[in-house]
Amino acid sequence: MAALGDKIGSSLIAQAADVPTLPWSGSHVKISPESSLFTIPDEIYREACVHTTEEVIASCQVIGYPAMIKASWGGGGKGIRKVHNDDEVRALFKQVQGEVPGSPIFIMKVASQSRHLEVQLLCDQYGNVAALHSRDCSIQRRHQKIIEEGPITVAPPQTVKKLEQAARRLAKSVNYVGAATVEYLYSMDTSEYYFLELNPRLQVEHPVTEWIAEINLPAAQVAVGMGIPLWQIPEIRRFYGMEYGGGYDAWRKTSLVAAPFDFDKAENIRPKGHCVAVRVTSEDPDDGFKPTSGKVQELSFKSKPNVWAYFSVKSGGGIHEFSDSQFGHVFAFGESRALAIANMVLELKEIQIRGEIRTNVDYTIDLLHASDYRDNKIHTGWLDSRIAMRVRAERLPWYLSVVGGALYKACASSAALVSDYVGYLEKGQIPPKHISPVKSQVSLNIEGSKYTVDMVREGPGSYRLRMNKSEIEVEIEVGSGNRTRE
């Protein structure tokens, strides 16, 4: 874990395990496959690093611009800068050093127009390594993931198989134990892939894999930590299409009968459907994605069978200026990529977040509608290019949102109001004033503003709406699937 968790060390080990790597400052440094099992000597490790501005410039000139200056201990967009010439190196090298103080630094060639692809691994202490399908995390802003999905659909199955085999080979070369994610850069033009890094932990997007592989990864990781071999875990056996078995009988304190199998020869089952994940952040897309902070008056989200989410704040809470901007993660499943995207869009539209913060929800909905994303023609620099061109999310005028929301609420509650009203009449009672099948008042919260609309039902599908001194008459038609058309 120590060796592969370090970006420089893992790149050296990847080279020794015959996993393709991009040209980098350690391309000339060679270690034997056997030495991967031990600590990499300091003198060899330092040979792959750069220490001064002059060394960075020299390395970039050998590798070729554009290049990345990367801190080995960095992550989440920190300690990484893209440079195009010697002058940018002089300006940005110090920034990388300052963001991750004390970290070793290395240089890596930029793979333009590439995709960020991942393979989820789970390894036990007996040398068994399972590759649990794949993820695509190419939608990034400043090297920080925004949208994740799985399985990989941009590369052919045989290439995905090679990614999995290379990831397994890398983990086996150091006798890795536990959960890990092997990350690659993939060229859509040449179909070539290159090792990027290995994350020696469960990442926050691991529910994507859980959904398509039907494996409880945290539970499986605990089982591995208890010394249980992978072939003894029922969900892993099912994943590889093996006969029933595995597990533990708590009453008899014995393992259930299960035969070992060779993970190098076993074929896993096809991914179940598709899963898309969206990170919810307290950033203002209209102000260069500047982080915002403040009180959260309302946060409303309802999970469904095919959509699930978690948030680190709740109604009445808040986000302070020193916290990470991500405060939520939404996961949507579908039988196909298109259905998973559609389910995500519908759920994001239903999230209610009201308070002093701004969020990326509307902007992300617009990304999910973008033709480049739906046609799978994006790359790791796509979102940054879009932001640079100041492409903003298209929004309806606020008054259309108010009218549409008021009508939706009125239609949704109309049947219940009529039923209550008739119920009083059948009992020979006069209905209370607040129960009326004709008049109603609707309150809406839209982007932090509260709107109160007085409504009068003038006939089937006919309403008159009044707010402040403005009034409008609207005709609606309920179409198939109870969809309302104005």
- Active-site residues, by number, are 201
- The angle formed by the CA atoms of residues 221, 223 and 224, to the nearest 5 degrees, is 65
CA 116, CA 400: separation in Å to the nearest integer? 39
Burial class (CB in 10 A: 0-12, 13-18, 19+), 208: buried
Q: How many CB atoms lie within 10 A of CB 476?
A: 17
| Block residue for tokens 């070793």 | 104
Q: How many CA atoms lie within 13 A of 151 on its CB side?
A: 23
Q: Confirm if 159 and 188 have CB atoms less than 8 A apart.
A: no
| Block residue for tokens 């691991």 | 206
Count how many residues are written for the chain: 486
Number of H helices, E strands in the chain: 13, 24
- For 133-174, give the DSSP string: EEEEEEEEETTEEEEEEES--SS-HHHHHHHHHHHHHHHHHT
CA 310, CA 330: separation in Å to the nearest integer? 7
End-to-end distance of the chain based on CA atoms, in angstroms?
A: 59
Q: How many CB atoms lie within 10 A of CB 393?
A: 15
Q: Which two tokens stand for residue 479?
A: 């179409």
CA 292, CA 389: separation in Å to the nearest integer? 22
